[in-house]
Amino acid sequence: MSLRPRFLPLRSRLRGLPPSVVDIVLTVAVLAAQSAPFVFSKPMPGAPPWTVAEYLPVLGASLPLLWRRRAPVSCLVVVALSMGVYSLFDPLQPPQPIWYGSLVAMYTVAEKSPPRRRFGAVAFILLGFLIQTGPVATSRGVVLWAGAYAMGRAAAIRQAYAVSLEVRAEQLERQRVLEAERAEARERARIARDMHDILAHAVSLMVVQAEAGPVVVRSDPDRAEQAFDAIASAGRDAMSQLRRMLGILKEPEAPLDPQPTLARVPELVAAVSSTGPPVTLTVSGKPLPIHPDLDVAAYRVVQESLTNVVKHARATSAAVTIGWEDDTLVITVTDDGPGIGPARKHGTSGMSGPGGPGEGNGLIGIRERAAAYGGSASFGRAAGGGGFQVSVRFPLTGAVRAG
């Protein structure tokens, strides 16, 4: 059984101590270690007792560690000078096996100081040792000081790496939050477009039938009954789709009815034809499997286009064309109502609205749906100079094909 896990809480507590407390404890430990020769050694027979003056350099080589973080180079210089002063006394004084204070000071310089000050401090120490003790005696000190310097640099590199990891983690977290906010904004925009399409389509059909019902209620009761049935059907369909959307918001994992896709365009065309101007549907090319989200977006384009026909076009007929080409899905909705301006790309038309000159909320939604799948949309006068035409092109790339 390993004893390592038992020491982890102690290590965590030590790392959590304030730096000032760590420095005080370290200074006391170094002072005790460097004072030990005066306690456990005795002067040689006939030699005078050790004096306070001989002990003072020990204090000079220990106490500066208290400010080693604030002035690491100054701390090292004071410790080194104290060591030099100590060696000037009578050689019969107690020898210091290891100057621990100098090793701690060198470690701190290597960890905390910039390169120029580090190199200057190291050169000063080496020169002092060489002058005072000579090359042979210097070798042992060089090994110890080099080890302390290497440990300090390793600690500095480790701390820098830890800081870089923290910065990277913060950047990734900010990026994750930003992406989540963008995804949330896109989802809100998508829900807003869907609700607009659903409500605008249903309400437009209901308004047309509600206006026609009173006109024929006495002269043609059967037609009036059909108008009221169409109103009820449009309302039920709108409620069903709205319940589905609200269900996604309330319970994302709850079982829901499928969203309408291109497969339901014939139903949509029939519903509009029964309540508004006659609409024809033409499908060309071989239908291809596409991504479900694109399938829904294509249906919404047709739905919103027909809603504009009912609400704004004052048309007597309309045509929906769905063209499957090799790499493009082309949807075109044309009516024979009063023409409104030349065709313009990227979602502008002769209809007024908040999206810019001649651009309504519905056309903005169509343009955004097309752009979301890398497609394009054009709105304007139909070929031949009459009516209004909506044309949307979806590229059938690998990103939108099914599977």
Name the more confident of 286 and 360.
286
What is the distance between the alpha carbons of residues 205 and 257, in angstroms, rounded to a whole number? Answer: 23
- Tell me which residue of 332, 329, 321, 301 sits closest to 397, measured CA to CA: 329
Residue holding tokens 């024809």? 280
Confidence class for position 315, pLDDT limits 50, 70, 90: confident
Confidence class for position 399, pLDDT limits 50, 70, 90: very low
Confidence class for position 223, pLDDT limits 50, 70, 90: low
- In order of 107, 138, 318, the CA distances from 90 in angstroms are 30, 20, 114
> What is the pLDDT, as a whole number, of residue 401?
46
The DSSP symbol for 253 reads T
> What is the pLDDT, as a whole number, of residue 28?
93
Confidence class for position 249, pLDDT limits 50, 70, 90: low
Whether the full predicted model's pTM is greater than 0.85, yes or no, is no
Q: What percent of the chain has pLDDT over 90?
A: 16
Confidence class for position 390, pLDDT limits 50, 70, 90: very high
Residue 126, token pair as written in the block: 């080496």
The highest-confidence range among 271-285, 318-332, 383-397, by mean pLDDT, is 318-332
**C-beta of residue 136 within 8 angstroms of C-beta of residue 95:** no
Q: How many residues does the chain have?
A: 403
Q: Which long-range contacts (CB under 8 A, 24 or more apart) does 15-22 make?
A: 19/69
**C-beta of residue 341 within 8 angstroms of C-beta of residue 329:** no
Residue ranges per domain, the chain?
14-175, 269-403
- In order of 223, 271, 346, the CA distances from 355 in angstroms are 39, 29, 12
Confidence class for position 354, pLDDT limits 50, 70, 90: very low
What is the distance between the alpha carbons of residues 335 and 387, in angstroms, rounded to a whole number? Answer: 5
What is the distance between the alpha carbons of residues 226 and 228, in angstroms, rounded to a whole number? Answer: 5
> What is the pLDDT, as a whole number, of residue 282?
92
Name the more confident of 402 and 332.
332
What is the distance between the alpha carbons of residues 354 and 358, in angstroms, rounded to a whole number? Answer: 8
Mean pLDDT calculated for residue range 97-109: 89
pLDDT digits (tens, 9 = 90+) for 10-24: 556 666 778 888 889
Confidence class for position 64, pLDDT limits 50, 70, 90: very high
Of 12-16, 57-61, 74-78, 272-276, least confident by mean pLDDT is: 12-16
Give the architecture (CATH level 2) of 269-403: 2-Layer Sandwich (3.30)
